[in-house]
Amino acid sequence: MTESKNDETVPSGPAHESSDSQRPTSEGSLTSLRGASAVGVGRKFWLYAGGLALVIFAVVVVVSFLSAANDNARIERMKAHGIPVAVTVTNCTGNLGGSGSNGAGFTCEGSYSAGGTTFHEVIGSMITFASPGAVVHAVADPSQPGSVVLASAIKSSVASSRAYLRPGLLALVLIALALVFLRVARRSASTRRTAA
């Protein structure tokens, strides 16, 4: 009985050790599963990205101010020096609302003559239907005769400082973001000096 038990024991020789050596360690298997180590994004990258975003935002603010100024100047120009024209409606196309089920006015086109040139353009501020051949009174922009707006719309429109309200709010947001960015940049610079 003793010899049979000894025969059943696992041999502890070179063969057993070689089989153990062929078995991968848990650390090695985890390393092979992980692959390449992730590279963290540095603080400099975020500072550069923040600066670029501020520049883009500043451009948007400037464009908003210029657009508001151009709109007010256009109203004043067309009121003082606009060219009265009689526009013959050629067609009116219905517009759909956001849901696609409700009407949202009409876009009408017409032909007119200004400065000896005939134009075929969209009639600005005209959202009601007019049958083809109908004549409406409009005003052409003296600096851009190809732009025409209903005379009634020009009379009721007024250049206002309210046009600068939205750009002004955007400018305040830009100033606040710029102050936060400068504060973060100074903290980052002081941290690097301390580390050095």
144 shares a domain with 91: yes
Domain count, the chain: 2
Could you tell me if 55 and 118 lie in one domain? Answer: no
Q: Give yes or no: residues 190 and 180 share one domain.
A: yes
Mean pLDDT of the residues in the chain: 81
Please state, for a pLDDT cut of 70, what percent of the chain lies above it. 73
Overall average pLDDT of the 42-51 stretch: 84
Q: Is 118 left (phi over 0), alpha (psi -120 to 50) or beta?
A: beta
Same domain, 136 and 99: yes
Asked if residues 97 and 103 have their Cβ atoms less than 8 Å apart, the reply is: yes
Both 75 and 164 in one domain: the answer is: yes
Average pLDDT value for residue range 158-173: 92
Q: Are residues 61 and 106 in the same domain?
A: no
The letter for the amino acid at 105 is: G
| Averaged pLDDT, 172-192 | 88
Task: Indicate whether 59 belongs to any domain.
Answer: yes
Question: What is the pLDDT confidence band of residue 36, given thresholds at 50, 70 and 90?
Answer: low
Residue 104 domain-assigned (yes or no) = yes
Kindly state whether residues 151 and 164 are assigned to the same domain: no
What are the structure tokens assigned to 29, written together?
Answer: 């298997």
pLDDT-wise least confident of 13-27, 85-99, 109-123, 139-153: 13-27
Range with the poorest average pLDDT among 49-63, 150-164, 181-195 = 181-195
- Would residue 12 count as lying in a domain? no
Is residue 58, in this structure, part of any structural domain at all?
yes
Residue 143 lies in a domain: yes
Compute the distance between CA of residue 74 and CA of residue 141 in angstroms, rounded to an integer.
8
Q: Which residues contact 71 (CB under 8 A, 6 or more apart)?
A: 159, 163
Whether residues 165 and 76 share a domain: the answer is yes
Give Cα separations from 87 to 47, 77, 107, 182 (angstroms).
56, 20, 14, 56
* Shared domain check, 164 and 152: no
What domain range includes position 114? 82-157
Tell me if 169 is assigned to some domain. Answer: yes
Q: What's the residue count for the chain?
A: 196
Entry pTM: 0.60
2: in domain: no
* Model pLDDT for residues 103-138, shown as the tens digit of each residue: 678 899 999 999 889 999 999 988 888 999 999 999
Asked if the structure places residue 34 within a domain, the reply is no
Asked if residue 90 and residue 139 are part of one domain, the reply reads yes
| pLDDT score for 5 | 47
pLDDT at 37 over 60: no
Please tell me whether residues 76 and 92 are part of one structural domain: no
Relative orientation angle of helices 165-195 and 43-81, to the nearest 10 degrees? 160
Residues 70, 86 within the same domain: no
Q: How far apart are alpha carbons 143 and 24 in whole angstroms?
A: 82
Residue 4 pLDDT > 60, yes or no?
A: no
